[in-house]
Amino acid sequence: MDVKVTLAALAASVGLAVFAGWRGARPPDFRKGPRMIPWRPLMAAAATASLIFLVHLVNLMGVTTGQARP
């Protein structure tokens, strides 16, 4: 993946994490029934993806992360 694709994926995953965090923090409305989308696990997955994309972006910039393998 190049830098443009990584930045787009990072922006999308951050946006999804923020939106899912907002929806998951709202109080439940029992008149509407149960929530059909698990917002909190979706937020955690999007935040994890954001972190992975951020590390990938740093690697594309030339910074070496992790241990060097012989």
Kindly state the DSSP code that residue 62 receives in the 8-state scheme: T
The model's pTM: 0.83
Average pLDDT over residues 6-20: 97
User: What are the tens digits of pLDDT across the range 29-50?
Assistant: 889 888 899 999 999 999 999 9
**Residue 4 has what pLDDT?**
94
- Over its C-alpha atoms, the chain yields an Rg (Å, rounded) of 17
**Between residues 66 and 8, the one the model is more confident about:** 8
